[in-house]
């Protein structure tokens, strides 16, 4: 008589469905951070995305407690357990890099217009160390304390099994907590500097050589802050519970840690329940969407994807919004060209002594479009030009220069305007709209100097 099949529990259905939605919601934030060259945030999203994929695949392969029908998971679980070991170190490591980057942006004592070569190499080394090298080392050392190949749980799928010795504590359990504490140290620094420079926060971001705006900075800080202070208690609980469960410890021995039946796969039913740690990656995808998937950059990408898929023919508002953004960028480009090339100066001219004061006021009128200032005559530009031509036409034919009384000569004025740019940032505006892009190590200084000292007519 055939035994009835075990029904699929509600958690076995909810986990892959919610994990699939979480994966979809994580794609746009991942693309945005990758485009902004934020490797730490991209790595954080990518690690959680991989864990969600495992949640989907494992729940579909092992949905019930029918042990006799289970696939042994050879190959798939060998890869999964290694990636899971790496994620325990990589996720806190990405938080370290995020908080460290935010702390550097707010570090006014070491602010540089352009980072030196050694500073850039050191920053890249820190990111690679916590996001890549440390996870790889964790995967390589996993075999030292791996008690058996892996354990199979219903719904959750592949899990690690640890040797009951002090080596497991030193090589595995303690490092995620230590890295979380390092991230907490940088988090406290960021909080201190935010409080200290809260009134100059916008100016510091503009002067820093980064692509962070106020909105991006605060969203990145808040999501990292929430994740950090959620992971620290979890990691503390994991370390404490693992130490208690694995007691008493035995002295480490390679033969004890790797017995002859090491390749045996242990299968465990769960009665339709899912471990709490499987829901953490699911929740992370929704958090990424809340903080990064609803911003202005994400909306532009959603609109572009909708138009690419053909929804622009059904919803004309998508095309109109795209056209408005294009016209806005076009008008900005036109204004930039106008500011750069249509700079007109009207200098002083020789006039008769009877009309010297009017001639000086008309001749000194100029329209500096770049500085946004108009000085001289109050009449319109065309009226000023007409008056100037009329006065020049009626000047004496002798060609002699007539001195203008000192009372008609304006005071000596000197105006100096200097702007400096270092690097290229899309989030920081510049009055030099029409200039070519700068290289990362290039500094350009533009000076507009006007000086009036002596006038002859």
pLDDT in tens, 110-119: 655 566 778 7
Q: Helix 39-61 vs helix 10-35: angle between axes, to the nearest 10 degrees?
A: 160
pLDDT at 158: 92
pLDDT at 139: 94
Tokens of 7: 């029904």
Name the residue ranges covered by the structural domains of the chain. Answer: 10-248+255-300
Fold adopted by 10-248+255-300: Rhopdopsin 7-helix transmembrane proteins (1.20.1070)
pLDDT at 93: 95
pLDDT at 371: 41
pLDDT at 78: 93
Computed on alpha carbons and rounded to an integer, the radius of gyration of the chain in Å comes to 34
pLDDT at 316: 63
d(CA 443, CA 441) in angstroms, rounded, equals 7
Q: In this structure, are residues 440 and 123 in contact, taking their beta carbons and an 8 Å threshold?
A: no
- What's the angle, vertex CA 241, arms to CA 19 and CA 263, rounded to 5? 70
Q: In this structure, are residues 154 and 268 in contact, taking their beta carbons and an 8 Å threshold?
A: yes
d(CA 35, CA 50) in angstroms, rounded, equals 20
pLDDT at 133: 94
**Phi and psi dihedrals of 420, rounded to 5?**
-130, 140
What parts of the chain have a pLDDT lower than 70? 1-5, 110-115, 207-210, 308, 310-457
Distances (CA, A) of 196 to 107, 204, 299: 11, 12, 33
Tokens of 201: 């926060």
Distances (CA, A) of 215 to 36, 95, 198, 201: 14, 18, 14, 12
Residues 376-430 pLDDT 10s? 444 455 555 555 555 555 554 444 444 444 444 444 444 444 444 444 444 434 3
pLDDT at 112: 59
């Amino acid at each position: 008589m055939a035994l009835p099949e075990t029904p699929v529990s509600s958690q076995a259905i909810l986990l892959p469905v919610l994990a699939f939605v979480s994966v979809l919601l994580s794609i746009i934030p991942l693309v945005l951070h990758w485009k902004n060259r934020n490797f730490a945030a991209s790595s954080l999203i990518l690690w959680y995305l991989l864990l969600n994929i495992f949640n989907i695949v494992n729940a579909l392969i092992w949905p019930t407690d029918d042990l006799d029908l289970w696939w042994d998971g050879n190959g798939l679980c060998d890869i999964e357990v290694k990636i899971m070991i790496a994620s325990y170190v990589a996720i806190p490591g990405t938080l370290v890099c995020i908080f460290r980057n935010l702390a550097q942006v707010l570090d006014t004592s070491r602010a540089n217009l352009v980072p030196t070569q050694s500073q850039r190499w050191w920053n890249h080394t820190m990111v690679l160390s916590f996001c890549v090298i440390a996870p790889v080392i964790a995967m390589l050392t996993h075999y030292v304390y791996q008690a058996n190949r892996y354990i199979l749980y219903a719904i959750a799928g592949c899990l690690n099994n640890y040797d009951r010795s002090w080596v497991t504590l030193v090589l595995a359990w303690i490092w995620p907590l230590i890295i979380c504490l390092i991230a907490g140290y940088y988090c406290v620094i960021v909080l201190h500097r935010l409080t200290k420079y809260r009134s100059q926060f916008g100016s510091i971001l503009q002067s820093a050589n980064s692509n962070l705006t106020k909105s991006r900075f605060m969203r990145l800080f808040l999501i990292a802050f929430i994740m950090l202070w959620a992971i620290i208690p979890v990691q503390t609980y994991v370390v404490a519970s693992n130490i208690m469960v694995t007691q008493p410890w035995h002295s480490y021995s390679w033969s004890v840690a790797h017995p002859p039946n090491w390749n045996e796969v242990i299968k465990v039913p769960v009665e339709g329940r899912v471990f709490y740690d499987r829901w953490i990656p699911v929740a992370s995808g929704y958090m990424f969407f809340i903080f990064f998937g609803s911003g202005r950059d994400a909306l532009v990408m959603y609109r572009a994807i909708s138009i690419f898929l053909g929804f622009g023919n059904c919803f004309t508002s998508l095309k109109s919004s795209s056209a408005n953004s294009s016209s806005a960028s076009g008008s900005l480009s036109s204004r930039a060209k106008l500011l750069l090339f249509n700079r007109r100066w009207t200098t002083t001219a020789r006039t008769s002594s009877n009309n010297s004061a009017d001639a000086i006021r008309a001749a000194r009128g100029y329209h500096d479009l770049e500085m946004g200032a108009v000085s001289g005559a109050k009449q319109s530009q065309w009226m000023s030009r007409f008056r100037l031509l009329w006065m020049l036409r009626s000047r004496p034919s002798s060609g002699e220069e007539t001195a203008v009384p000192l009372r008609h000569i304006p005071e000596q004025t000197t105006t100096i305007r200097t702007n400096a740019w270092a690097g290229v940032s899309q989030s920081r505006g510049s009055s030099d709209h029409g200039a070519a892009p700068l290289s990362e190590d290039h500094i350009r200084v533009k000076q507009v100097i006007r000086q009036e000292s002596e006038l002859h007519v």
